[in-house]
Each structure stands twice: as C-alpha cells, then as structure tokens.
Amino acid sequence: MLLRTGLPVRQGVRLAVDPGSVRIGVARCDPSGMLASPLTVVRRGKGDLDALASLAIAEEAMEILVGLPRSLSGREGPAAVTARQFAADLAARVAPLPVRLVDERFTTATAHDALRAGGHDSRARRRSVDSAAAAVLLDAALESERRTGLAPGELLAPGGERPVPAERPVPAGRPERPGHARASR
C-alpha cells in the first residue's frame, strides 16, 4: 500500500522486535502511531515465536517490525542472516500478519545512552536495553513513515518467503510504470 507524503502514519498498533542471541526486546506503539514504548523482553529459544504471536494478538498489532542489523556501510553480515531467518520464521508463524525488516543500526547504542542518561546503572540497563532498543527501532520506523509516506522497511511475503518488492512512490504528474501503483486515484 502506498501512502502520500505529508499524511499521518497508518493507524494501528505495531510491535517492534529486536532479536538478540539470548533475549528479544519488544516494543509497541499507540494506535495512532505517535508514541513507541518498550513493552517486554522474551527469552530467545523454544517458544519465543509463540510468545511473540501471543503478544501480537493481545496487543491487536497490525504488523510486526523486526530489526535487521547492518554494518555502517549497509552491508549485511552473519547477524543479518540470522535476523532474516528469524523474521521469516516469525512471518510464517503469524501469517497473515505483515512482518517487515527494518534497519536497526545504532538502536542498542542509542538505548544504552538513553538509559545511562536516565540514571540506570549497568545492571539495570542489561534488564531493559533490549526492549528499549526495540522502542528506538519502532520510533525510527514511525518517523520514516511520517517523512516518506511509505510503510518502513522490507515487507516479507506471507509465510516468510522471499521479500515482497519494495514500495515506491510515484511522483505526481509522472506516468505509472508497470507494477507500480499510484498513491491515490
């Protein structure tokens, strides 16, 4: 779905997940898409996808955003491969709920800085940094949608198969190309 730039973000609760090797940070936004907040941390391993699916139902989420770790140059390494597989498994588990991969560069560092500035010691930060990083990820995704008018990230096909082609806006006054839809008719 294409959105026109300058319009408010799509309405509905979104969940963001920041999958780590031990913990999965989870955040949610309000139904208007204005405020992202840490929600919880899920232990990585057996039952993690079921726990995330239950959270999506309980929170009445319209989509789930999964953090995709890229290097500063934008390249994807082993952690990104793992995140892509996790997102594909999650998409298969929660289908037909949309799952999107979203660039997560700097989210954990930003969350650590914010928690440190808030007076949390290193032990307290360890307990909450994962969900705080998911909130940073979600906030960045919402801001991207406000700025561009497009849903953020890379949409995975239902069931977690290969990604759906990226959505692109069609500038006003330019003819459509095959396979591209206009923002409004």
Instruction: State the amino acid at position 6 in one-letter form.
Output: G
- By mean pLDDT, which of 44-48, 97-101, 106-110 is the weakest? 106-110
This model's pTM is above 0.85: no
Rounded mean pLDDT of the chain? Answer: 79
Query: Where is mean pLDDT largest: 7-16, 100-109, 119-128?
Result: 7-16
Query: H or E stretch including 111?
Result: helix 107-117
Fold of 13-160: Nucleotidyltransferase; domain 5 (3.30.420)
Angle made by CA atoms 63, 65, 67, in degrees to the nearest 5: 170
* Cβ atoms 128, 38 nearer than 8 A: yes
Q: Between β-strands 36-43 and 23-29, what pairing exists: parallel, antiparallel or unpaired? A: antiparallel
Q: Which residue has the tokens 């793992």?
A: 82
pLDDT of 7 above 60? no
> How far from the centroid of its chain's Cα atoms is residue 175's Cα?
32
- Spell out a b/e string for 146-178, using b for 16 or more CB atoms within 10 Å of the CB, else e: beebbbbbbbbeeebeebeeebeeeeeeeeeee
Q: Count CA atoms within 13 Å of residue 50 on its CB side.
A: 3
Q: Which residue has the tokens 């497009």?
A: 150
Stretch 166-185: mean pLDDT, rounded?
A: 40
Stretch 28-57: mean pLDDT, rounded?
A: 96
pLDDT of 172 above 60? no
Q: For the chain, which residues make up each domain, given as ranges?
A: 13-160
* End-to-end alpha carbon distance in the chain: 13
